[in-house]
Every structure is written in structure tokens, then in C-alpha cells.
Amino acid sequence: MLLPFFFQQGLHTGERTYRCGVCNKIFSETGSLKVHLRVHTGERPYRCDVCNKRFRQVQHLKVHQRVHTGERPYRCDVCNKTFRQVQHLKLHLRVHTGERPYCCDVCNKIFRQLQDLNVHQRVHTGERPYRCDVCNKTFIKKSSLNVHQRVHTGERPYCCDVCNKIFRQVQDLKVHQRVHTGERPYHCDVCNKTFIKKNSLNVHLRVHTGERPYCCDVCNKTFRHLQHLKVHQRVHTGERPFRCDVCNKTFVQKISLNVHLRVHARERP
């Protein structure tokens, strides 16, 4: 399919520019315009001979082929980490420089990458463009949708090489491995207690601050932990989700069921 394009010449400079007849984008060279037109035609003339993935530009193919060759020609002078693309190295360097050039105009949170800012802004706009085809739950990030879909597929691709426990997310595996290594990287500045997870530290700090952010909307009782609020609310709802398989007695908390089961254990001959 041939698409229209036009060239025009500057009145005073004599410079020739080339305009896409579809979207009016302007280019200084015909070669750049021809590559751009593939956006509209869908043409991808460059093919990887390993995996058959196709690309619009030969440079994109060359970068992609490093996936197969393992080539990572761009090296960080600070930590020696290597990268396939120079752009990835430039972004990485901000880890060392602390540069965060992209700022949210709503809450002033700053980011290293423009893409991270674009995703963050959905917190303010309410946009959740990624939808699960099974349960219609929506997500801000595509990666969050991908992880969620494992709930339906049962996929747990990350395995602990010590105890073979498996996880849906690589981050969950990394946190779990601290059980084996003994690493507790989160440290309370008040009492020096250490924690495996940052969230556990945040909850612990409420012991010192007195913060109880979770409030029962029936009796206004407050709690440090969301889970404690959920258990408490069963007092009002009457829910008793834990049932004894021996005598069918029900309980508000699992720990109460566990204590109760000892009654039956003593009854056994």
C-alpha cells in the first residue's frame, strides 16, 4: 500500500522538508520519512533469523539480536553492570546520580523514567487500562495484570532453590529467601528490632507512634493492623469462618480453632 507524502522548501533557508500525508509529521530526510511510513503500513521488513520476530528498522533488529548473542556492550563505570542498549545505561546511571527529572504535577513525586511518571499519574486520573478477561478486575500496570492472571492459571514460576516453595512474583521469592539467609534488612530506629519485609517495619513503627489507622465503622474501635480490623468486624457481622471438622463448632479466628482442636486431640485414645 502506497501512502502519500509531500515535500516543501523553506522560503528563506532553502531547506527541504518531507511531510507524512497521513499524520502530517515532518522529517528533514526522505529516509526518515520512509521508515516512519511503516507505522501506518505495518511493514516490518527486518526479520530475526533466530526467533522470526520482525522490526521496522534494521537498528532495532541489531539491538534485538543481542538477546540471542548475549552481547551487552554498554557498561556502567560505577558498578560494572552491563546493558544491551545505550539508553538503558543512561537510565541506569540515574541510580547513582540520584537524578529524577520527571515530576508529577499533582503530588510532586519524582521519577527516573518518563514511563514511570505516566504510569503513576493513573493513580490521580483513576485510569486502569488493563482488564482481566476472567474476572474483569482492572489494573494500572500491565505487569500487575500479568501477575494477577496467575491467580486463575495457577502458575507460580519462581521457585526457592532451598525448600522448593514456589511463588507468583519474583519479589515474593526474594523476600522469602531471607528466611534461609537470615537477612533482615529493615531496621527500627527506635528499638533496633529488624524485619524481613519493609511492610512489617512500617506496621511495627505504629507501636512507637501510637498510630492506629484502621477504624471500625460500627463502633469506631481502631487498630494498628488491617487484618485485626477484619477479624474484629466479625463481631458485628456474626461471621465465623473457621469450622471444626470433628464437631462443627465455628470460630471467629483461626487461632481459636487451633486451640479448640486440642480438646479433640486429648479425647483420642
Look up the CATH number of the domain holding residue 173. Answer: 3.30.160.60
Does 87 have pLDDT greater than 60?
Answer: yes
Percent of the chain, pLDDT > 70?
93
Report if residue 165 sits inside a domain: yes
Q: How many whole angstroms separate alpha carbon 187 and alpha carbon 172?
A: 19
Which residues, 6+ apart, have CB-to-CB distance to 57 below 8 Å? 35, 46
Average pLDDT over residues 57-84: 94
pLDDT for 84 beyond 60? yes
The pLDDT score that the predictor gives to residue 269 is 46
The one-letter amino acid at 113: Q
Please tell me the distance from the alpha carbon of residue 110 to that of residue 102, in angstroms, as a whole number: 5
Q: Give the tens place of pLDDT for each residue, 238-257.
A: 999 999 999 999 999 999 99
**Is the pLDDT confidence value at 30 over 60?**
yes
Separation of CA 164 from chain center:
24
Residue 117 lies in a domain: no
DSSP code, position 155: -
Residue 105 lies in a domain: no
Cell 490521580 -> residue: 124
Q: What is the pLDDT of residue 156?
A: 94
Confidence (pLDDT) at 7: 56
- Identify whether residues 153 and 174 lie together within a single domain: yes
- Asked whether residue 211 is assigned to any structural domain, the reply reads yes
92 and 53 in a common domain: yes
pLDDT tens for 141-189 read: 999 999 999 999 999 999 999 999 999 999 999 999 999 999 999 999 9
Q: Which domain range does residue 170 map to?
A: 132-181
Strand partners, 166: 159
Provide the pLDDT for residue 221. Answer: 95
Q: What mean pLDDT comes out for the span 56-77?
A: 94
CA distance 192 to 180: 21
Kindly state whether residue 153 falls inside one of the protein's structural domains: yes
The answer as to whether 262 is a domain residue is no
Tens of pLDDT, residues 227-237: 999 999 999 99
- For residue 137, is it within any domain? yes
Confidence of residue 11 (pLDDT cuts 50, 70, 90): very low
Flag whether 85 is in a domain.
Answer: yes
Residue 6 has pLDDT above 70, yes or no: no
Residues 112, 91 contacting (CB under 8 angstroms): yes
Quick one: DSSP state of residue 7?
A: E
| Number of domains making up the chain | 4
Give pLDDT, residue 265: 83
